[in-house]
Amino acid sequence: MPNLKIGFVGTGVMGGGMAANLIKGGYELAVYNRTKEKTDRLVEMGAQYKPSVAEIAAWADVVITIVSYPKDVENIYFGADGILENARSSSYVVDMTTSSPSLAVKIYEAAKQKGVFAMDAPVSGGDIGARNGTLCIMAGGDESTFDAVMPIFSLMGKSIVLQGGAGAGQQTKMCNQICIATNIMGVCESIAYAEKSGLDKTKVLKTLESGGAASWQLSAYAPRIFKGDFEPGFYIKHFVKDMRIALEEAEAMNLELPALGLSKSMFDKLMEEDKGELGTQALYQSYNK
C-alpha cells in the first residue's frame, strides 16, 4: 500500500489535517478542493494539485472524499465528470463525509458495476483528531476492501472498526451524532449553571473530568468556551445536516428520538441567527444571553 497514489477531495477543517497525515506517512498525494486556496498548505508539503475530481479519479489508486453535504457527495461521485465514471478498474473509493446510508449503498453498488471497490467511512474526533491522526473511523463495506485500505486509515485514526456492509459506517455515525447532540447540550448547560452559581469554572471542569460526567465533548470544548473561542472544530451547519439525516433515518425505522429533536431545534435557532459557520460549542451562546 505505501506505493499507492492517493487522491484526496475536500481539504477543509477535517480533510486538511487528514490529508497532511497521509503525506507525513509517505504516500504520494494529489488534492482537490472547490476553494483552491485550502489546498495550498498541502501542496507546500508535497501534494500535487488537480483541477477536477475527474483528474483525481483518473490518477489515483485510492480516492478519499470528505465534503460537506450528501448533495456534494452525489455530485462528485456521479456523472460524466464524477469519480466513478473516471476511476480506474480495481481502484478504491472511500467516502469519509458524514452522509446518508442510502447514498453510501448507491455508491457501493455503482462502483461494483465498474469494478471499483467502495467503502463508506465517516469519522469522529473533530479538527483535533484530524490533525493528530486520532480519529474514530466507522467503516462500511467489504472486509477485503477494509483490509486493503487499513494502512491508510491507520495514519488518520486510532479507533478503526468495520461496522458491517455498505452503509453501516454511516449508520454508526448517526449513532455517534445522536450521542453528541445531547452531550454538547449538557456541556453548555453545565457551564452556564456553574457561571450563574458563581463557581470557579476551571475547578468545576477538573472535577467533572474525573467523574461520571467525563466526556470528549466536555474536555475538548469546555476550555474553548471559557476562552470565548467559538471557531469550528465542527461546523454547526454540518451538525444540523447530520441530525437531519439521523431523524429521517429514525422516522423510516419508526423510531422516535425526542432528545435529538430538541437538540436540533436549538441548533436550528443558531442557524437562523447566521451562526452556522461557528463550532458546535457555540450552542453555549443560547444559554448565556
Q: What is the 3-state secondary structure (H, E, C) of 80-136?
A: CCCHHHHCCCCCEEEECCCCCHHHHHHHHHHHHHCCCEEEECCEECHHHHHHHCCEE
Residues 6+ apart with CB under 8 A from 200: none
Q: What share of the chain is helix, strand, coil (3-state, %, to 5)?
A: 55, 15, 30
**Sign of the dihedral through C-alpha 272, 276, 277, 278:** positive
Q: Where does 114-199 have alpha helices with state H?
A: 126-132, 143-156, 168-196
Encoded amino acid at 92, one letter = Y
| Residue 88: all three cell numbers together | 480506474
Query: Catalytic pick from 106, 173, 241, 264?
Result: 173
Residue 173 annotated among the catalytic residues of the structure: yes
Cα–Cα distances (Å) from 202 to 185, 220, 289, in that order, read 19, 13, 21
Q: For residues 137 and 162, is the Cβ–Cβ distance under 8 A?
A: no
Positions annotated as catalytic residues are 173
